[in-house]
């Protein structure tokens, strides 16, 4: 029986070994070979050693290999998990300083706000470069991305390549739990059974291992289509999906009421402009995305803000292999 190959591009301390932990705890993944790749050899070595120890302690049948190139990791992969960051936290700190100089404050800045729009400039080219390699070395594999800004990156891959990209926001169900508790509501049934990333649920679903009658609902970042009929069809949204052998399909929703539509439409359009700005190096689209951002209250500051954020990202446009 053919073994499953999962390539991890980016040996993230936060995500990779946590997903392997879930494979070992939930079971059913012993026929899996893990191929890790990172441009930092020390990070790669540490993550490989941690995973080897986990497999040994659980007496699992998984294998793990630290690859010397992205190509080695991708060749023949059945799934590709992407967890990467371009420029480290140093670039994000510089962007934060620029934004604060213009009176703009963020909490994190990797999902919304001008820092997010700027981050797209260095992250979109890398995701598209990885997708281009996937088209050569594993064209049938889906890209499972845990990388932010998730909506923009997933959208870029789905719109501009032949690779199917699914965004996995691994903290979604914890936030649902917190909101339920804050409002005195019952937690979502069986939520404690979900893994921290539900990566294995996606894999099991895509392989049809839940059976035709069992559909696991997962919250994923996917192309809208007609799931939310009054938002753009080509936008990527965080939606409830059913994953099966025919893919991860979003559940149909009623049209958004005017209030929610008014909140979300500018954000969706800003994401589409951010993707265009990053993929096509379109400075005008970058300024337009910032103009739609609710954190930018002084429109007169946009030209200087845009120029400063744009210039910070120029050295990071070319993807590292």
Which residues are tagged catalytic? 170
Spatial separation of the C-alpha atoms in residues 150 and 19, rounded to whole Å? 18
Torsion on CA atoms 251, 254, 260, 265, rounded to nearest 10? 70
- What sign has the CA pseudo-torsion 85, 86, 90, 93? negative
Give the full edge-to-edge strand order of the sheet including 236-244: 63-66, 32-37, 4-9, 79-82, 143-145, 165-167, 217-223, 236-244, 247-250
Question: How far from chain centre, in Å, is Cα 308?
Answer: 26
Q: Enter the tokens of residue 115.
A: 């820092």
Strand partners, 248: 243
Give percent helix, percent strand, percent coil of the chain, each to the nearest 5.
Answer: 50, 15, 35
Question: DSSP code of 190?
Answer: T
Question: How far from chain centre, in Å, is Cα 157?
Answer: 11
Angle between helices 114-137 and 283-291 in degrees, nearest 10: 130
Q: Enter the tokens of residue 239.
A: 């939606």
Q: Enter the tokens of residue 95.
A: 């962007």
Q: Which among 140, 151, 321 is positioned nearest to 234, based on CA atoms?
A: 151
CB-based contact 32:23 (threshold 8 Å): yes
CB-based contact 10:38 (threshold 8 Å): yes
């Amino acid at each position: 029986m053919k073994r499953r190959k999962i390539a991890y591009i980016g040996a993230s301390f936060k995500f990779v070994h946590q997903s392997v932990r879930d494979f070992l705890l939930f079971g059913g993944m012993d026929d899996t070979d893990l191929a890790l790749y990172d441009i930092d050899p020390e990070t790669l070595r540490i993550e490989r050693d941690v995973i080897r120890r986990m497999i040994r302690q659980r007496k699992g049948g998984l294998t793990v290999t630290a690859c010397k190139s992205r190509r080695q990791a991708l060749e023949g992969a059945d799934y590709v998990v992407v967890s990467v960051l371009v420029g480290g936290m140093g670039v994000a700190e510089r962007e934060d300083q620029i934004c604060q100089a213009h009176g703009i404050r963020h909490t994190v800045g990797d999902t919304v706000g001008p820092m997010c729009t700027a981050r797209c400039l260095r992250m979109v080219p890398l995701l598209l470069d990885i997708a281009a390699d996937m088209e050569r070395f594993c064209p049938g594999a889906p890209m499972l991305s845990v990388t932010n800004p998730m909506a923009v990156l997933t959208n870029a891959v789905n719109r501009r390549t032949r690779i199917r990209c699914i965004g996995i926001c691994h903290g979604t169900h914890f936030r649902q739990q917190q909101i339920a508790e804050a409002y005195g509501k019952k937690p979502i049934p069986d939520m404690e059974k979900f893994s921290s990333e539900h990566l294995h649920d996606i894999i099991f679903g895509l392989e049809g291992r839940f059976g035709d009658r069992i559909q696991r609902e997962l919250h994923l970042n996917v192309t809208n289509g007609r799931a939310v009929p009054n938002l753009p069809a080509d936008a990527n949204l965080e939606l409830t999906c059913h994953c099966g052998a025919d893919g991860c399909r979003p559940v149909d929703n009623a049209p958004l009421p005017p209030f929610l539509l008014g909140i979300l439409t500018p954000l969706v359009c800003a994401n589409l402009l951010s993707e265009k700005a990053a993929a096509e190096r379109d400075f005008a689209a970058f300024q337009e995305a910032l103009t739609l951002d609710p954190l930018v209250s002084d429109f007169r500051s946009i030209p200087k803000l845009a120029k400063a954020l744009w210039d910070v990202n120029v050295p990071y446009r070319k993807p590292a292999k």
